[in-house]
Structure 1
């Protein structure tokens, strides 16, 4: 599929997906949602891709839903939001099979490759929701986060009432949702929304350096399994998580990547993992 609302590039085994409506601060549209999902599945299916970088073009990550869309929904007195997003697609091989992670805006955990959100500038509303489904986030010093929903007469949408408290705790999540106040990068780091803050000019390079080290040195099979364990584990008891781990450990011990993991260490050379 030809992309108009996003950019897609693969280099150094990193797929970079860029929300590309810079004149609108990458405000979210139905087209952008569909193209992003297609690109995520494309990266998932590409054996030449080990990690995914998600960012925004221009001076912002995503300013939330396009106001023209919100205006149209208001005029139609609450037309079904489901009409504004594409139908769900199949689950990528190796990803989580939980139905929780198959919805139009919750599917990132089902992508069996690490997703890093590089937050450049404003990250608001639906843009904030999307960023929280990334596995981790780096922020530019100029990044600003806001839930925004309460200031639009809306609610905590698309699962942010589930993701945000798990990252920052219930009282902090309530603060950010109820007040819709703006959170700058340094506070986002303290709260645990982002894992690193870097100068604006270094954001993409820092994100790529981090992902390239991951792509070059760790087993893609291990990454896929651990990602599934982490996200599925939030629905499991400790006993269930341990049973899953024992099963996955037995499978990993029989894998080619395990053999390579031992061999490259003993032979003191760079690993050549295949994901098998």
Structure 2
């Protein structure tokens, strides 16, 4: 597929999806939405891909919904389907349907999705970043919910996800005020995992992703990711029971055998993901 609003490449086990409308600060369009989904599906289905990076071109990550899209909603020409499930099938039937909707589907991918936030992430751009598994930010990054200043509300599940990342009170602060949050404050809040200088952000994310792709069991990553997201809907007893069951399954996996073998033989691992 030829893309117009994103760039997509795969290198050494890492797929990189780049929002590619730099002149518009990568403002989100319906075409971009479909292209991102297609690239994510390709990455999920490709056994050679073990980690996915989502980033933006130019000086922004994503400035939110394109104003033409918002104008279309206002005049009724843009039809919206709140909570619509896009795609023909769920990625992972072992995770709740909550993670299969229009923007919440990244957690249903079996592979880690890392956001490399290189600049402003506002409104829908911030929502998309929250559904990534981890967020690494440039010192130039700015976070802003924006909804309240547009006469809108906490959309696309951000009212559920944001408090789980930074807490109830801090989430309300960011939502109600729509104020700008710097990368340093985002780090203090727990909104991002790491902060880097602008020119070293993508190399740092790529190095982290390559380490996962090279040295970590794909099977382990997929199971642990599923465990963490499913635990949001489980009791402690359920999480313990599932963990015990998954550990027994791990003992009979090829990746467990390889994990022991490469450690004993003092060599680089060669995990199969099975």
Query: Do these two structures clear the TM 0.5 threshold for a shared fold by scoring above it?
Result: yes
CA distance in 2, matches of 1:82, 1:216: 40
CA distance in 1, matches of 2:28, 2:170: 26
For residue 89 of structure 1, what is the aligned residue in structure 2?
Answer: 88
CA distance in 2, matches of 1:128, 1:3: 22
For residue 40 of structure 1, what is the aligned residue in structure 2?
Answer: 40
Contact 1:88/1:102 (<8 A) preserved: no
4+ residue runs over 6 A deviation: 83-86
- TM-score normalised over the length of structure 1: 0.96
Instruction: For residue 90 of structure 1, report the CA deviation from its aligned partner.
Output: 1.5
SS in 2 for 1:223: helix
Q: Are 2:25 and 1:7 aligned? A: no
CA distance in 1, matches of 2:31, 2:60: 18
- TM-score normalised over the length of structure 2: 0.97
What is the alpha-carbon root mean square deviation over aligned residues? 1.6
Change (3 A) 1:162 1:86: closer
Contact 1:128/1:147 (<8 A) preserved: yes
Contact 2:20/2:56 (<8 A) preserved: yes
For residue 172 of structure 2, what is the aligned residue in structure 1?
Answer: 174
CA distance in 1, matches of 2:34, 2:55: 16
The 5-angstrom pairing of residues 262-273 of structure 1 reads: 262-273=260-271
Q: Are 2:249 and 1:251 aligned? A: yes
For residue 159 of structure 1, what is the aligned residue in structure 2?
Answer: 157
For residue 105 of structure 2, what is the aligned residue in structure 1?
Answer: 107
For residue 198 of structure 2, what is the aligned residue in structure 1?
Answer: 200
Contact 1:108/1:134 (<8 A) preserved: yes
| 1:3-25: CA deviation from partner (whole Å, max 9, x where unpaired) | 11111100011000000111111
CA distance in 1, matches of 2:83, 2:235: 36
For residue 211 of structure 2, what is the aligned residue in structure 1?
Answer: 213
For residue 227 of structure 1, what is the aligned residue in structure 2?
Answer: 225
Change (3 A) 1:253 1:84: closer
Contact 1:95/1:111 (<8 A) preserved: no
The 5-angstrom pairing of residues 108-127 of structure 1 reads: 108-127=106-125
CA distance in 1, matches of 2:107, 2:271: 22
CA distance in 1, matches of 2:93, 2:51: 14
Instruction: For residue 246 of structure 1, report the CA deviation from its aligned partner.
Output: 1.4
1:148 corresponds to which of 134, 146, 149 = 146
Instruction: For residue 86 of structure 1, report the CA deviation from its aligned partner.
Output: 7.8
For residue 27 of structure 1, what is the aligned residue in structure 2?
Answer: 27
SS in 2 for 1:81: coil
SS in 1 for 2:268: coil
CA distance in 2, matches of 1:131, 1:83: 19
Instruction: For residue 215 of structure 1, report the CA deviation from its aligned partner.
Output: 0.9
CA distance in 1, matches of 2:246, 2:154: 35
Aligned pairs, how many?
274
SS in 2 for 1:193: coil
Which consecutive residues of structure 2, in runs of 5 or more, have no partner in the other structure?
none
For residue 242 of structure 1, what is the aligned residue in structure 2?
Answer: 240
